[in-house]
Chain A
């Protein structure tokens, strides 16, 4: 079946450190992949996405590349800020080509990031 595994947190970094949050997936077919972010006290919001192999999603200095050969979609940022402190969720949509009636995402468990000044 479809599944998403992401690294456990919490992750604690100093400001300007390099960030990697690992995400690997299991899926049949050609899923789309997402990273969502949840800032304290808020709902989730889309951070970036990739829809096919070798696509790179990017936003707010974050990047992730869809690697079909390693079934991975690791999130990276070169220099984190205190304002990046949040919970990050990796997710996949296994139904890229359907009619859209069943858009259930498969979610990772989330990784909490704390960035200290």
Chain B
């Protein structure tokens, strides 16, 4: 079974803290994604990566950065957390290649910034 794991299910941080959200997948997928999910706004793409050390901005990258040093791990960094970053964060992965593939999601991290 494909597995995407995220380091924490729930996280509470203070405004201004640096926050790391970790995502690991065990299926050797090339592409990995970070989304945030908010009521009424659906899923919004923050960043994605299609290879080690490669990254591209998604629709809402402001206030976030990412790191992909190993193929299986994709980290989301909030340099200075703010209350408007309180949200559910979802990581996903998908293999590279032609054909139609599904995105595999982790269970999510619910982050609260106080």
Contacts and interface: CB of A to CB of B under 8 A. Distances in A.
Tell whether A pairs with B.
Answer: yes
Interface of A: 32, 34, 36, 41-46, 49, 51, 89, 93, 96-105, 107-110
Nearest to B90: A43
Contacts of B97: 99-100
Nearest to A50: B100
Nearest to A112: B39
A34 B96 contact: no
Contact of A102 (B40, B41, B50): B50
Interface size class of B (residues with CB under 8 A): 20 to 34
Interface of B: prevailing SS: loop
A42 B43 CA distance: 14
Contacts of A46: 102-103
22 contacts: A36-B103, A42-B107, A43-B105, A43-B107, A44-B92, A49-B102, A51-B100, A96-B100, A97-B98, A99-B96, A99-B97, A100-B30, A100-B96, A100-B98, A100-B99, A101-B50, A103-B31, A103-B94, A104-B33, A104-B48, A107-B43, A109-B41
Contacts, number: 63
Interface string B63-100: 00000000000000000000000000010101111111
A53 to B, nearest CB: 14
Contacts of B33: 104
A44 to B, nearest CB: 5
Contact of B108 (A43, A101, A109): A43
Contacts of B98: 97-100
Contacts of B50: 101-102
A55 B58 CA distance: 30
A24 to B, nearest CB: 15
Given A44-B103, A49-B100, 9 more contacts: A44-B90, A100-B96, A103-B101, A103-B103, A104-B45, A107-B42, A109-B40, A109-B42, A110-B42
B19 to A, nearest CB: 19
Contacts of A97: 98
A97 B94 CA distance: 15
